[in-house]
Structure 1
Amino acid sequence: MTRVLVTGAGAVLGQGIIKSLKSATIPCEIIAADPNPLSLGLYWADQAELLPMANDPAYPAAMEALLDKVRPDIVLIGTDVELGIFAAHRHEWERKYSTRILVSDPETIEIADDKYATARFLESHGLNHPISVLPEDRAALDLLIATVGFPLIVKPRRGARAVGVSLVRDHAELEQALHGRTGLVVQQLAGPDDQEFTAGVLFFDDEVKASIVLRRDLRDGNTYRAFVGDYPECDDYVRSVAMALKPYGPANFQFRKAADGRCRLFEINARFSGTTPMRALVGFNEVDLALKHLLHGQPITQPAIRPGVVLRYLEEQFVEASSIIPSAS
């Protein structure tokens, strides 16, 4: 039985990883961890563990204690805020606790975490991207407006799920979106709303082992409808980005396809995706593929993907009072 530690059991990402493990072909014992005892993913696991918040100075030591206690075969990271910590300690913790940690290197994490760094990375590799400038550089901002015009996108350099993102249609809206805020990037609109895509790859041994592209509809920054189809030009683009980025294992790419047919990527996540369980439903269980490859040496081949649409919905779960996990405090 493969022992898998999944962090972020209260997050969409962590819960999606757990869902994918439960439908995997490899038998798993799931150990789920989260700071909140009422995080739903804890109640789906075979074993639940509480941790400090990732920004707590006590987190690294607590994680080491947990790794020593549960001795997982592999660790899968279910929140963005933990990626940098695991990237910094990956090799040390793998040796010390005889485990595998599926996380990219710190440089890749940083490229993905900073939207402006993402754009500069794509530009340096000759890959299509939305023209992006820092608002403090007024000359570059004026040139962006002169080159592509409005509308433009104003967003935090670091963030997720469209939090703090503004679509601005003229100079007045631009100045309003910028007023009193720091840490922003201004970008060319990548494409129309109905041409937004989320894609994933598994990258090992210096090559893309498998990939999937889904067109999507968003609600509150998350994918709630995913359309499975044949998008060969998008898949080629995604694979080109992955070959330049060279992540370790999974990476998620979000982009739009413009009227000129060009795909323009605006976000990289160097991890599994919130759509990971949706992908598993159509035959692309990237968690299962990665575990079989890393732990059992099985080659990854491109899965056959079923065409159709995946619809996401809310679901409730009742927890008996006697089963509620007590708080760590």
Structure 2
Amino acid sequence: MTSLRVMLIGDARMAFPVAKALNQAGHRVFAGVSTSSNYLEWSRHVSGAFRHSPLEPGTDEALPVILNWLDRHPVDVIQPVSEAGSRFITRHRAAFEARARLIMPEAETVETCMNKTAMFALCETLGVALAPHRRVQDMAGLQAAAATIGYPLIVKPAVVDAELFGRKALIIADAAQLADAMPHWPDIHPELIVQKYVAGPRHSVIFSADRGRLLGAVEIKAARTHEYDGTGYTTYGVTVDPTPLVREGVEKLVAHLAYSSTGCAQFIVCPTTGEVTFMEINPRVSLGRISECAGLPHSVWGLKLATGQPVAAPADPWAVYRRGVRYVWTKGDLTLLINQVKRAQVAPGAALRRLTQIGIDALQCAHAIFDPLDPLPALGTYSNILIKRWRRHPEYQPGWVPVSGAPTPGPVRSDPDWTRSPARG
């Protein structure tokens, strides 16, 4: 494959395995970074970086800075590598498509996947496993849906990656908890989904597909998340054999959507009853570290799909990956434990046992960010409380726009021409 210049948009944990895989494949990776970048600019797999204001919480202050950089330093391909990055490119897709090819599904596919109401209707049409649910637009509808579905239930936004009172979803045990958790209707949500709660871990399927043909897939069971009720981001996961209903659901949805690119389909699987329910499809890269370690080269496949190059995929897309590969996001585990200790939500003995297990997992698992051959980003992340003041540059601040004719923000870890020799990895 010809060496290409790739720009990563969004600087979350998902960026690190993508940068590593593409750099090792001989490509030159560039990135915009903000104060929440997890020190992506320190990675040896990033050829150059520049600063911009954060993409969260859904603002567009960074747009003129990023477009200005792209106009001055053209790239071949652009890839979103975070929730905020995906939403950001979706809002300004035409501007980015005018400058490079995108590693993401077609606009229509992204729009459908990010609409949970549309996806739930599609699941019902295709016969994909789905727990009973209701769409509601106000508190009266919410109360009626709760009475019909029964408790326990889960309340979630109708839009993928949106939050509800600061959470990805609310798990409600009874009417009293519903009144406490939702004292009023959240004005930012015109619609919510109320659904029967299926108890069990989240199973994420990381996949690559070409016009509805599944190329490769990895099923990952999330044993722990960064929220106490399991609704947050995965902090400990393991690759498992494909669950029949999950496999069937992914294949049906990918085929119907004529999906092309990488993605992440999520289901809940009850370990006692075997009940399965669809959650969502995130039309972006996710859990990249564990899928790459398990043998799915989805970062390179995504690049090939975006540039029209053939992908040599196996006959059975589910035979690609290794089972039993473990992944850990140690900082997420530690942050949850610290917060629970502060709130007296965990006994000292239990806290010590969990801390011990976190330490064991840190030694034995693939990490979200840490790589022994690329250690600086992880060192920066864990030292952030001491060095974050170094990031107080004006170009990080909302509303910062480069002066016309003036140079863009200086490169971070980059040669004067914003490049470095390819394939540093």
Q: What is the TM-score normalised by the length of structure 2?
A: 0.66
Greater relative contact order (Cα < 8 A, sep 6+): 2
- 1:210-246 deviation line (CA, Å, top 9, x unaligned): 2221122132112122222222512222111222333
Equivalent in the alignment of 1:287: 299
Quote how far apart the aligned CAs of 1:326 are: 7.3
C-alpha root-mean-square deviation of aligned residues, in Å?
Answer: 3.1
Equivalent in the alignment of 1:187: 195
Q: Name the CA distance, whole Å, in 2 between partners of 1:327 and 1:247.
A: 40
Q: Out of 311, 314, 338, which is 1:299 matched to?
A: 311
1:136-147 to structure 2, matched below 5 A, reads 136=138, 138=140, 142=144, 145-146=147-148
Quote how far apart the aligned CAs of 1:19 are: 4.1
Equivalent in the alignment of 1:165: 169
Quote how far apart the aligned CAs of 1:293 are: 4.1
Alignment of 1:63 with 2:66, yes or no, is: yes
Q: Name the CA distance, whole Å, in 2 between partners of 1:128 and 1:228.
A: 21
Contact in 2 for aligned 1:102/1:248 (Cα 8 Å): no
1:1-329 to structure 2, matched below 5 A, reads 1-9=3-11, 11-22=12-23, 24=24, 26-36=25-35, 39-44=38-43, 45-54=46-55, 55-87=58-90, 89-90=92-93, 93-94=96-97, 96-97=98-99, 99-133=100-134, 134=136, 136=138, 138=140, 142=144, 145-146=147-148, 148-158=149-159, 159=161, 163=167, 165-182=169-186, 183=189, 184-189=192-197, 191-194=198-201, 196-220=202-226, 221-233=232-244, 234-258=246-270, 261-273=274-286, 275-295=287-307, 297-301=309-313, 302=317, 304-312=320-328, 313-314=330-331, 316-318=378-380, 327-329=393-395
Instruction: For residue 224 of structure 1, give the secondary structure of its aligned residue in structure 2.
Output: strand
Q: Name the CA distance, whole Å, in 1 between partners of 2:143 and 2:283.
A: 28
Larger Rg computed on CA atoms: 2
1:253 partner amino acid: A
Q: Name the CA distance, whole Å, in 2 between partners of 1:204 and 1:278.
A: 22
CA 225–327 in structure 1, closer or farther in 2 if over 3 Å, else same = same
Q: Name the CA distance, whole Å, in 2 between partners of 1:235 and 1:127.
A: 10
CA 325–57 in structure 1, closer or farther in 2 if over 3 Å, else same = closer
Contact in 2 for aligned 1:84/1:106 (Cα 8 Å): no
Contact in 2 for aligned 1:229/1:308 (Cα 8 Å): yes
Q: What is the TM-score normalised by the length of structure 1?
A: 0.82
Quote how far apart the aligned CAs of 1:90 are: 3.9
Quote how far apart the aligned CAs of 1:249 are: 0.6
1:203 partner amino acid: A
Q: Name the CA distance, whole Å, in 2 between partners of 1:57 and 1:214.
A: 33
Q: Name the CA distance, whole Å, in 2 between partners of 1:284 and 1:38.
A: 25
Q: Name the CA distance, whole Å, in 1 between partners of 2:117 and 2:180.
A: 20
Contact in 2 for aligned 1:135/1:141 (Cα 8 Å): no
Contact in 2 for aligned 1:131/1:144 (Cα 8 Å): no
CA 298–326 in structure 1, closer or farther in 2 if over 3 Å, else same = farther
CA 130–276 in structure 1, closer or farther in 2 if over 3 Å, else same = same
**Contiguous gaps of at least 5 residues in structure 2:** 227-231, 332-369, 371-377, 396-425
Quote how far apart the aligned CAs of 1:197 are: 0.3
Q: Name the CA distance, whole Å, in 2 between partners of 1:310 and 1:160.
A: 28
Contact in 1 for aligned 2:9/2:79 (Cα 8 Å): yes
Equivalent in the alignment of 2:361: none
Contact in 2 for aligned 1:256/1:265 (Cα 8 Å): yes
The number of residue pairs the alignment matches comes to 318
CA 101–213 in structure 1, closer or farther in 2 if over 3 Å, else same = same
Quote how far apart the aligned CAs of 1:325 are: 6.8
Contact in 2 for aligned 1:20/1:277 (Cα 8 Å): no
Percent of residue pairs bearing the same amino acid type: 18
Q: Name the CA distance, whole Å, in 2 between partners of 1:160 and 1:21.
A: 29
Contact in 2 for aligned 1:33/1:50 (Cα 8 Å): yes
